[in-house]
Every structure is written in structure tokens, then in C-alpha cells.
Chain A
Amino acid sequence: MSVLGIHRKLEENSGLLIFGILFVSAIGGLVQVLPSVFQDELVTPTSETQPYGPLELLGRDVYIREGCSTCHSQQVRPLLAEVKRYGPFSSAGESAYDRPFLWGSKRTGPDLHRVGAKYSDAWQRVHLIDPRSVVPNSIMPAYPWLAERAADPRENIQTRMRRLQMLGHPYSDDQIAQAPYLVSDKTELDAIVAYLGVLGDAAGSDGRMAH
């Protein structure tokens, strides 16, 4: 059958046309996305990647809720300027315990994948509550309420950790038993500062270059 004949058939049968459109638009995904789902390299943590502790886990949720990833990426790309500015480039394995990953695609603020080593916790606190008090020309919004809210108001940190354990995060039963004591009197500010503090801990593992 000629190409134009097929074309005519498709044009006259909307069901067939829909199927044809779906098939053609699926090709890109079948080639680019599907194989990566099964690629071990992307889901195997690098040697220094650790699952988040209970407080950090809660801090990550605050990070997601406040939409930090709409302005901050968490991926240092393998480009000279980025490696010089931020440190070793990110590898997929570093996000093995990120569900979902927070790579982001927009940098209104700087990349945060290597931010852990750069600032003291005290600075992070002041900066989150009032960014302008330490960076006068910052356009980041202030997040003063973080200091007033309990990190784990529903007291379900153990449930969360158990679910992640089911998904393969190597939490020990001891860690899960201890978790409530580690987060009980903490605020969301404590949690997100703890989370930011461990970002980049696995930088440079598995032979990736330091600049």
C-alpha cells in the first residue's frame, strides 16, 4: 500500500488516527526513557551515598512543599564552568535515595547539590528566615514560619521510613525505632537545615573529579 493510501485510511478512521499518533509519539519515549528505567547505573547508589536520616527526610519534604526546586536545581552538570563553581558534577547514583529526585530544571537561585559544605547551619537559619539580612540583594522569599512549625506534627516518621525500607532504602530497624526521638522536638527549620547540610556529602565519590 502506498504512503498516501495509508494516509487516506488514517484520515478517514479517527480511531486508527489516534492509535497512529500515539504510536509515533511513543517512539521517542521508547528509545530515550524506557531503557533508562532498567539501567542499573541510575538506581545504584554511589559508594558514599547514604539514605537520609529521619530529620533530613522531613527536611526534604519541607523543601518539596515550599517549592525550593522551582528556583534551585540539584544537578551540577559536567561543564567546566559548573564544575569550577559548584564542585564535582552530579551522578545519577547520588539520587538513588531521592524519591522523587529533585534535580530541577530552573536556576533562579544557585544550584544546591553541593551546598552542604559551604554554609554553617547558623547561616542557613538566618538566611531562610530573612534572606536579606545576610544577602542584601537576594530575591529569595523569606520562610519565617519554618521556625514555628513542628517537623513531624503527625508523628508518622516511622511509617515513612518503613515504606522507604520496603522500596529498598537500607534503614535498620534500630534506626526506625530511634527516629521519633531524633525529630520529636525539632522544627521544620531544623529539618530543612539538616537536609541542606547533607547535600553533596557524596560529592566526588566513585572517582568523579574534584576541581
Chain B
Amino acid sequence: MPFDFWVGWVAVLTVLSLIGLAWVIYGAYFGGQKVGEDEQSPTVWDENLREGAHPAPMWWFWTMLASLVFTLVYLILYPGLGSFSGTFRWSQGGELEERLVAHESAFGARRSEIARMDLELIQANDVLMRAAKRVFDRQCAACHGLDATGQAGMFPNLLDHAWQWGNSPGAIEKTIRDGRHGIMVGWNSVLNRSEASQLVQYTLALADSTPSVHPGKAKYDELCVACHGADGKGSIALGAPDLTTGIYTYGGDVLTIKETILYGREGVMPAFGGILDDMQIRLLVAWLSRS
């Protein structure tokens, strides 16, 4: 059925039921029947219990009249009667738009000022830093933990100095805005058990110094060097972690490192560029790069 039919349907039914309602109310109060008139053949129960016809109290009438008047006024001012949009031209989308504009004019200037502010100035401002912590709590803490030290053996600690994608303000901002996708391939198909164990030992040894002679070095130089580098310093451009820090996102014990080497890892940082605005991202960068 065409849309116009249903528009008419809504309007006609609304008007008819209002008229019907008015008629019922009017009839019940002023329909000509008086108290006691309906008693030619009164129904009597239990010897003397009679059904009467006492009218409803008048304050009911006034309440219902007021409701009817309110309804009429409402239907004139606001949308409700078919496609008639009301003399106020109110709409849900329009109201949201208005509020967004009001929000922007109230806070927009200050927000864009903060979005361009020097990080040091933000960091020196307690109010802004508290706001930054609130943004962190709401948007970041689910993965990185309320204290930002990482959790679940897979979400990185943000308070240490080992940042696989870099901890310069620019790098942090890019990470937040565009997200990151880190992939370490698994070497299960090319390593035998002893080679894997040697590689684990070599990885652990890298934390102290780069060993020149080590049973795991040959495989490291063959498989790992492309991303993690000859000295194990990793590569921020590739998101390959620095193996010399002794900090391991997924765990630094022998078994976990072995699992990482054999089966690989995949870490995803979602992009928040579409979720946070520039000011919120600036606040987070300031909060995360504070000393």
C-alpha cells in the first residue's frame, strides 16, 4: 500500500478516536441521565444491595477535558497527525543537530585550542590531565588496564620504555588514530625442537648483550634478523619489538617465548580516529608521553 494511504490512515484514526473519546466523556456526564433515573427495575442482590448509577466525580471530567485540550494543542505544535510536521517543525534529527551545534559553539573553540596545545602545557595542567585519564579509562583501559600497565598477557604495558611502534608523540598519535596490526609469523614448520630451544636461549641472551658465538645465532640470523635486526633492537617501522629490553608483551618465560617463535603472534590495536576527536587524541598523547 502506498505511503500516502498510511499517512491518511494515521491522521483519520487519530482524529476519529479523539472525537469518539470526547463523545463518550460528554455522554457519560451530560447524556441526560440523572442519578436514580435508572431504577425502574433495579437489580437487587443479597436482599438490599442495589446497583446504582452515581456519576463519576467531576474532577475526572476536568482531568479528561484537560488531557483532550493538551492533545489538540500537542498535535498542532508537534508532529503526530499523519505527515503534518507541526507548527514548531520539530524533529528528532533536527533537535540532535541543534544540540550538536550548541555543543560545538559552547566547547568547540576550547576543544580545538586543546587539540593544538603543546604537550608540556597539557601535562602541566592538572585539570586536562584528569580529563585525559578519564578518556583513557573509558576508551583504552579495557585492553591496557586501568593502570595502563597492560594485561591478559597480550595487551602492551604503556608505562615502560619498550614501545614496539615507537613512543614519540607522533608515533603514539598515529597508533591511536590509525591503529596498528602487528604480525609475527610462526616458524613451527621450519624449526625442529632443539633449534627452537636454542633460539629461545639466544633471544633471552640478547637482553644482556649480542652474543657473537651462540648455538641459536645461525637460525636467528636466518629467520629473525629481517624484522628484529642483527642486534635484536627491533624495528619501529615494522612494529618488531626490541628484544634487548627484557620486556615481552606476551610473556618472557621460556615456554611463552617458544610458543611465540613456533606459532607466531598477531596483535591488533583498533583505529580510534573515527571514535575519538582531535582533542581527546591530543589529551591521550599528552597523558601517555608524560614522564
Which positions in A face B, CB cutoff 8 Å? 2-4, 7, 27, 30-31, 34-35, 38-40, 78-80, 83-84, 87, 89, 117-123, 126-127, 133-136, 209-211
**Cβ of B13 and Cβ of A122 under 8 Å apart?**
no
**Cβ of B96 and Cβ of A118 under 8 Å apart?**
no
- A4-B33, A135-B142 as given contacts; A122 in contact with B277, CB under 8 Å: no
- A31-B10, A117-B275 as given contacts; A126 in contact with B100, CB under 8 Å: no
B141 surroundings in chain A (CB, below 8 A): 135
CB-CB nearest 6 A-B residue pairs: A3-B27, A120-B268, A35-B6, A80-B99, A2-B31, A78-B96
Q: Is B226 an interface residue (CB 8 A)?
A: no
**Cβ of B1 and Cβ of A120 under 8 Å apart?**
no
**Cβ of B3 and Cβ of A126 under 8 Å apart?**
no
Q: Is B14 an interface residue (CB 8 A)?
A: yes
Most B CB contacts (10 A, CB to CB) among A4, A34, A123 go to: A4
A118 surroundings in chain B (CB, below 8 A): 139, 270, 275
Residues 76-105 of B, flagged 1 when their CB comes within 8 A of A and 0 if not, give 000000000000000011011101100100
CB distance from A27 to the nearest CB of B (A): 5
Name the residue on A nearest B94 (C-beta): A78
Name the residue on A nearest B181 (C-beta): A120
CB distance from B56 to the nearest CB of A (A): 11
CB distance from B151 to the nearest CB of A (A): 6
Residues 149-186 of B, flagged 1 when their CB comes within 8 A of A and 0 if not, give 00110110000000000000000000000000000000
Pick the contact of B103 from A40, A80, A117, A121 — CB < 8 Å?
A80
**Cβ of A117 and Cβ of B23 under 8 Å apart?**
no
